[in-house]
Amino acid sequence: MIKPISFNIEKKMAGLGRAGVLSTPHGEILTPAFVTVGTKATVKALTPEMVADLGAQVVLANTYHLYLEPGDDIVREAGGFGKFMNWHGPTMTDSGGFQVFSLGMAFGTKVSKLAKVGEVIEGEVIDKGDEAGKLAKIDEDGVTFKSYKDGSEHRFTPERSMEIQHNLGADMFFAFDECTSPGAPYKYQREAMERTHRWAIRSLSRHRELNAQKGAEFTRKDAEGDYDSLRSSASIPHKSALFGVVQGGRHQDLREESARVLGAMNFDGYGIGGSFDKDDMGTAVGWVNAILPEDKPRHLLGIGEPEDLFGAVENGCDLFDCVAPARMGRNGTLHTRDGKININNAKFMREFTPIDSECDCYTCKNYTRAYVAHLFRSNEMLAGTLGSIHNLRFIIALVEKMREAILDDTFDELKTNFLNRYKK
């Protein structure tokens, strides 16, 4: 039976940061690493081959969306979402909790992991509605919600989330948690955190049952001499790893309590969820990672801006996922070492230089700002593809440089030089 994952630390920084190797049934991930988001078993506008060429090591799909369409049973029959989308590397799925939350307690608002207190929170909006029109209701046992697609009613519990994620067949996935609104009062943050801890116990119990069933299936096929089936990547029942999710909002006492409680549960890894004040996100992550088991990988959920990635890495995170780089790329907001640019601005119509002269991506090697601007202004499909390629490679390459800098003891220098120029 293939082990779920193993994690080895290669080099530690003076603080909490580290470089390591995370081994999965579908290959190794050199950490820290940016996790590319393929929400519906696809990275929008890109083929899996393009994603691999960008240097992406792992793809994360969304449990909520794949459950609704095409259905986790279909994905299971296909051999898991990696095989379904023709991605051969490591895979992850989230629990679906954030999407349920964004349709429930925060329905009609924009949701993200980072915001300054008092400012409009940015993120994805499914729909708008008043209090009576919210699509999700949270109770102690789980969440009842209506599909944003057709209004049909569905139910997620910790056990159901585990069953769906096992059907989706990822190497790593997350316990079902409640992601609270950034503006929720302290009392509710505590209630939600404690509920997340109870759900974590239930998630872990059901996950272990399902992994045991996979082990029994492997043993049966081996005993029957069904070697052709065992060799098939669609039918080898590899164990999956489960990450517990730390919650607690922006409150230090809650974050530290959550890290202690979940750290004692012996998960395979840990996610850091919820929302933070953008001005002290690194501090809040540091509170958690100073307590979580050092020998387990740590995944910061929903983070993808360069300055936030630096803060996450130096405070001990190994993995991060975010839809923002690709989404911005599809909409014409592009990263450069001198900051973001909006390629739709008129001044770029006659700039016959790469988006970023120091970038090694396919877009920058072959096309000019003027051409990419023309594509966006003409609403050509290629615009989103070239923008996504550039932004994803920019972020992936930046995190690669962070890893190299940790190994070379030059992280502080890289951070200072990059951010001074990027934020100028």
What does the pLDDT look like over 359-411, one tens digit per residue? 999 999 999 999 999 999 999 999 999 999 999 999 999 999 999 999 999 99
Q: What is the pLDDT of residue 224?
A: 59
pLDDT of 204 strictly over 70:
yes
User: If pLDDT is split at 50, 70 and 90, which confidence band does 226 have?
Assistant: low
Q: What is the pLDDT of residue 230?
A: 46
- The mean pLDDT of 251-262, rounded to a whole number, is 97
- The mean pLDDT of 103-129, rounded to a whole number, is 41
In the chain the domains, ranked by start, together with CATH numbers, are 6-95+158-322 (3.20.20.105), 332-422 (no CATH)
Which 3 state secondary structure label does DSSP give 378?
Answer: coil
Phi/psi for 8 (5° steps) reads -125, 130
pTM of the model as a whole? 0.90
Residue tagged active-site, from 177, 268, 318, 321: 321
Q: Which residue has the higher pLDDT, 214 or 224?
A: 214
User: If pLDDT is split at 50, 70 and 90, which confidence band does 225 have?
Assistant: low
Distance, CA of 411 to CA of 13 (rounded, Å)? 8
* Cα separation values, 200 from 35, 189, 351, Å: 23, 16, 53
Distance, CA of 76 to CA of 83 (rounded, Å)? 10
Distance, CA of 245 to CA of 307 (rounded, Å)? 23
321 assigned to active site: yes
| pLDDT tens-place string over residues 267-307 | 999 999 977 777 667 888 999 999 999 999 999 999 999 99
* Cα separation values, 401 from 299, 367, 390, 412, Å: 18, 24, 16, 12
Torsion 208-214-140-118 (CA) sign: positive
In the chain, the percentage of residues whose pLDDT exceeds 70 is 85
Would you say 150 and 339 are in contact if contact means Cβ atoms under 8 Å apart? no
pLDDT of 111 strictly over 50:
no
Distance, CA of 69 to CA of 67 (rounded, Å)? 6
User: If pLDDT is split at 50, 70 and 90, which confidence band does 179 have?
Assistant: confident
* Cα separation values, 345 from 225, 330, 387, Å: 64, 15, 15
What is the overall mean pLDDT for the chain?
89
Q: How many CB atoms are closer than 10 A to CB 115?
A: 22
| pLDDT tens-place string over residues 313-326 | 999 999 999 999 99
Residue tagged active-site, from 94, 171, 318, 356: 94
Lowest mean pLDDT among 163-172, 215-224, 334-343, 398-407: 215-224
412 assigned to active site: no
Give me the residues paired with residue 155 across strands: 144
Which 3 state secondary structure label does DSSP give 32?
Answer: coil
pLDDT of 104 strictly over 60:
no
Burial 48-84 (b: 16+ CB within 10 A, else e): bebbbebbbbbbbbbbbbbbbeeebeebbebebbbbb
- The mean pLDDT of 124-132, rounded to a whole number, is 36
Q: Which residue has the higher pLDDT, 149 or 401?
A: 401
Distance, CA of 223 to CA of 88 (rounded, Å)? 28
- The mean pLDDT of 347-353, rounded to a whole number, is 98
**Which residue type is seen at 173?**
F
